Amino acid sequence: MRSQPKMQNIVLDGLWGNNPIFRQILGICSALAVTNLVLNTMVMGIAVIFTTALSSLTVSALRRWTPRVIRMMIETLIIAFYVILFDQALKAYWPDMSRNLGPYVGLIITNCIIMGRAEAFANANPPGLSFIDGFFSGAGYACVLLVVSIVRELLGMGSILGIPMPFFSSALWDRWIIMVMPPGAFFTLAVICWIFRSVQAAKETQVPGGKK
Amino acid sequence: MQTEKKTNKILLKQPIMRRVIIATVPCIFASIYFFGWRSLAVVLVSCTLGFLTEYVFVRRRGEPVSEAVFVSAILYALIMPPTVPWHVLIIGIVFAIVFAKMVFGGFGYNIFNPAMAGRAFVYICFPVALTSTWSPPAQGPWGALTLWTTAVRPDVITAATPMALVKAGQIAPPPVLDLLIGRISGTMGVTSALAIIIGGLYLFITRTANRWIIITVIGVYAILNGLLMLLPVSGAPSILPALLGGGFLFGAFFMATDPISAPKLRPAQIIYATIIALSTFIIRNFSVFNGGLMFSILLANMFAPILDYGFKGRQKKNQEVLSSPEGTAQ
Amino acid sequence: MSMREKNWFPILYMFITTLLLSAVVIAFGTITRQRVKDNERIAFERAVLEALPIDLSGRTSPSEIHITYRENITEPTKSTAGALGYRKNDSLIAYALPIDGPGFWAPIRGVIGIAADKQTITGISFYDQNETPGLGGEIVKSEFRDQFVGKRLADEGTSLEIRMVSVELDESSVHAITGATQTSTRLNKFLDKRLSAWRDAMKEIE
C-alpha cells in the first residue's frame, strides 16, 4: 500500500512545484484564449477550479466501483457534466460573461489538467484529498492565467479589471496592441514560464540534495 | 561558422557580416539624405540596444557577441519609418534579438530573420506608429543634410502608408524615376532603389549574399507581376514599379539572403526564394496587408529547415542508390 | 464471482452513470432555459432602445427595459421595410433597423436607429459580438458609437461609410477603430449593404 500524500505537499505541488501550466505545460489552449482580460480570466479560473475539484472528488468517490476498462469514459463523463452545469449557469445568470468566454468554457472538458488529475491522483486517493488536489491544481492554473492576463490587459489596454491604471492609460504609454491579440499570450506565457522555472531552478540548486 | 572561441573577447569577428554592414552604408546615407540626421541616430540606437541585448545573454556563457547583431540592428532600423518613436524602435530591436535570436540559441541557430521578426512584432503591436505617419522626403540638391528630421510638424504628416494609398487607388503610383532615386516617403533606408542596388551589387559580386536566392526572388516576382499585367485586372502595377517600390529589392538583397535563416542547399534555396516571391506577390496584390515582403520572408523562413532536410534526404538516397552495388553488409 | 466481474457490469455501470448525470444536466437546463431565452430577448430589446433617442437613465434593469420596450416599440411592418418602429402617441419618431453580418471572429449583431426623416442616424448599438477586446471589441464603446449620432445616410450609392482614421469625414461617414482593420472593414460592408437596401426599399414604398 502506498503511503498517503501529505496535505501540505498536495497544496504546494498544485500551486507551485507541479504547477499545471509552467511545470507540466498543460491546458495551454485556454490559457492563450481567455487571458486578454483579467475579468474573463478570473471567471475561467473559477470554472476550472470548480471542475477539477468536483470531478476529482466524484472520480475518487466512485473509484472502488468503477470498472477499470471504462474508467476513462466515466471520467470524461463526469468532467463534461460539471463543465456543462457551469456553462448553463453562466448562460442563465451572467449572459455577458458567457458571451465573452464563448466556446472556451465548454472546451474545459478537453483541458488535460482535469483528466490528468483524475488519472494521476483521484483514481488512487480518498475523496477528501482528491478534492483538495483538484482544487489546488485548478488554483495553480488560475494563478498563472491571472498573471498572464494582468500583463496582457495592462500592456495592451492600460487597465486592470477594466479600471484604467495610472501611467499605462495615459498618453505616455503606447498600448501594445499585440498583447490583446492571441500572439500576445504566447510571448507572455513563455516569458512567465521562463521566469518561474528560473526561480525554481535557482531554489533547487540552493538546497544541496534537495528533491529532483 | 565559428572557428575560434575566446572567452575574453567581447566581439566575434565575422568577415561576411562585416561586408553586409558595408553594403548597407549607401542605404544609411540615402536615409540621412532624404529624411535627416535623425535616421543616423535611429540606426545607432538600434545597434547599441541590439549589442547590449545580445551581450546580456552571451556574457553568462562566456561567449563573444556576434557581429551579426549589428547587421540585424541596421537592417531593422532601415525598415522603420523615419518618424519611428524611440520606444517602438527599442522594443522592436530588443524583441528581435531576444525572441528571434537568443531564445533559439543565439547566432547560427535562429529560425527567423531577427530584423524581420522585430519589424513584424512592432508592426502588429504599434500599427499607428508604423503605418500611419510618414514624413515627406527632403527636396533640393542638399536634401535633408542640414536637417534633424523632415517631420517638422507632426500634424501634417499623418497619412496612410504610401503603398496603402496606391493600393486603394487614392493616389497614382510615384514615377519610376522617383522610385529609383528614392525621393518618396516610406521607410527610412528602403525608399532609394539606387542605394539598395549599389549595396546589393557589392553583396552580389563579393558572393556575400547568395546569388541564386537574389535572382530567383527578383525573377519570379517580376514574371508573376508580368503575368498579372496580361490579365484584365484593373489596378495591377506594372513590373518596374512593383520591383522598385516598397522595399522589395531591399528584401531580396538583404533579407531573403540571410545565411542563417535561409536554407543551405541550392535546390532548397530556389524553392525558398520562390515561396518568398510568390507569397509577396499574393499578399501585395490581393490582401489587406501591405507588409507583404515581411510576412513572406518570415513564412519562407519556417520552411527553410524542412526544405534542407528534404533535399539532404534525397541526396543521401541518391548516394545510397549509387553505392548499393558495392553492398554494405550490416 | 461477484457482480463487478460480470461482463455486463461495465455496460450497466456506464448506463446508470450516464442516466444520472444527464438527468441532472437536463433538469438544470430546463429550469434555466426560459431565463437564457429572456436574457437574449432583453439584450436585443436593450440594443433597440439604446439605438433610439430614448433616455434610459435610471431604467436599466431587465424588467424596466422590457416595459419601456413594450410601451414604445412596434414590430416591423410592410411600411417600415423590416425596421422596428418607435412611436409616441401614434406618431412615428424613429426606425430601429436590426443589422447583422460577419465580424472578424464571429457574427456581429446590432441595431441602428434612423429618425423619421429616414436619413438621420439616431444611434447604433450591438448586442452580440465576439471581437478582440481592446481592438474590434471597441465597437461597443461609446467613443465609436457616438460618432454615428446625427450622421446622414447618403441619398445615392454608399449610404454610410467607415473610413480610415487618416481620411477626412463628411456627413455620412465615421472613423474606423485604429488597429482593428478587419472588424471595421467587415462592419462597414454589411452595415452599408443593409442600410442601402433599407433606404432603397423605403423609397419604393413611398
pLDDT in tens, C49-69: 888 888 777 777 888 888 888
ipTM of the assembly?
0.76
Burial class (CB in 10 A: 0-12, 13-18, 19+), B145: middle
Give B39's Cβ-side CA count (13 Å radius).
35
Residue A53 lies in a domain: yes
Residue B330 lies in a domain: no
For B211, other C-beta atoms within 10 Å of its C-beta total 14
Residue B178 lies in a domain: yes
Report CB contact under 8 Å: C164, B160: yes
Residue A16 lies in a domain: yes
Residue B56 lies in a domain: yes
Q: What is the pLDDT of residues C103-162, one digit of tens each?
A: 888 889 999 999 888 888 999 999 888 887 777 888 888 889 998 998 888 887 788 888
- For residue B237, the model assigns a pLDDT of 61
What are all long-range contacts of C165-170, with beta carbons under 8 Å and residues at least 24 apart? C165/B132, C166/B132, C166/B158, C166/B159, C166/B160, C167/B160
Give the minimum alpha-carbon distance from A69 to chain C in angstroms, rounded to a whole number: 8
Angle at Cα C61 formed by Cα C60 and Cα C64, nearest 5°?
A: 85
Contact status, residue A43 vs residue A166, Cβ threshold 8 Å: no
Q: What total number of domains does chain A contain? A: 1
- For residue B161, the model assigns a pLDDT of 53
B86: closest chain A residue by CA:
A174
Residue A1 lies in a domain: no
Among the partner residues A65, A66, A77, nearest to C21 by beta-carbon distance: A77
Q: What total number of domains does chain B contain? A: 1
Report CB contact under 8 Å: C32, A84: no
Mean pLDDT, range A43-55, rounded to an integer: 92
- Report A:87-146 residues touching C (Cβ under 8 A): 88-89, 91-93, 95, 99-100, 102
Among the partner residues C10, C132, C134, nearest to A67 by beta-carbon distance: C10
Residue A165 lies in a domain: yes
Per-residue exposure over B38-48, b if at least 16 CB sit within 10 Å of its own CB, e if not: bbbbbbebbbe
Report CB contact under 8 Å: C135, A95: no
- For residue A212, the model assigns a pLDDT of 39
- For residue B45, the model assigns a pLDDT of 93
Q: What is the pLDDT of residues B233-267, one digit of tens each?
A: 655 566 777 777 767 888 888 888 888 888 888 88
Q: What is the pLDDT of residues B275-286, one digit of tens each?
A: 999 998 888 777
Report CB contact under 8 Å: C178, B159: no
Residue A3 lies in a domain: no
CATH code for the domain in which residue B23 is found: 1.10.3430
Report CB contact under 8 Å: B88, A174: yes
Whether A209 contacts chain C with CB within 8 A: no
Q: What would the grid cell of residue B10 be?
A: 567581447
Contact status, residue C126 vs residue C47, Cβ threshold 8 Å: yes
Touching subunits of B (3+ CB pairs, under 8 Å) are: A, C
- Beta strands C173-175 and C107-115 are unpaired
Maximum mean pLDDT: which of A57-61, B180-184, C89-93: A57-61
Residue B322 lies in a domain: no
Residue B327 lies in a domain: no
- For residue B150, the model assigns a pLDDT of 66
Please list the pLDDT of chain B residue by residue as tens digits (330 residues): 444 444 567 777 788 888 889 999 998 988 888 888 888 999 999 999 999 999 988 888 778 888 889 999 999 998 888 888 888 899 999 999 998 888 888 888 888 999 999 988 988 888 777 766 666 676 666 666 767 766 654 444 444 455 555 555 555 566 667 767 767 777 777 778 888 888 988 988 888 888 889 999 989 988 888 888 777 665 556 677 777 776 788 888 888 888 888 888 888 999 999 999 999 888 877 765 666 788 889 999 999 989 888 888 777 777 776 665 544 443
Task: Report in angstroms the alpha-carbon separations of B1 from A20, B15, B259.
Answer: 40, 11, 11
Whether C189 contacts chain B with CB within 8 A: no
Q: What would the grid cell of residue C131 be?
A: 471581437
Report CB contact under 8 Å: B128, C166: no
3-state SS, residue C113: strand
Residues of B with CB under 8 A from a CB of A: 85, 87-88, 91, 99, 121, 124-127, 129
pTM (global) more than 0.80: no
Residue A105 lies in a domain: yes
Q: Write out chain A residues lying below 8 Å of C179, CB-based.
A: 177
Residue A108 has pLDDT above 80, yes or no: yes
Q: What would the grid cell of residue B12 be?
A: 566575434
What is the span of the domain harbouring residue A127?
Answer: 8-206
What is the span of the domain harbouring residue B93?
Answer: 11-315
Percent of chain A with pLDDT over 70: 95
- Report C:30-69 residues touching A (Cβ under 8 A): 32, 35-36, 39-40, 43
A181: closest chain C residue by CA:
C132
Picking from B83, B128, B157 by the largest number of C CB atoms within 10 A of its own CB, the best residue to mutate is B128
Residue B115: CB partners within 8 Å, gap ≥ 6?
A: B71, B72, B73, B75, B76, B79, B96, B255
Contact status, residue A57 vs residue A134, Cβ threshold 8 Å: yes
Q: Does residue A31 or residue A92 have the better pLDDT?
A: A92
Residue A115 lies in a domain: yes
Residue A154 lies in a domain: yes
Residue B209 lies in a domain: yes
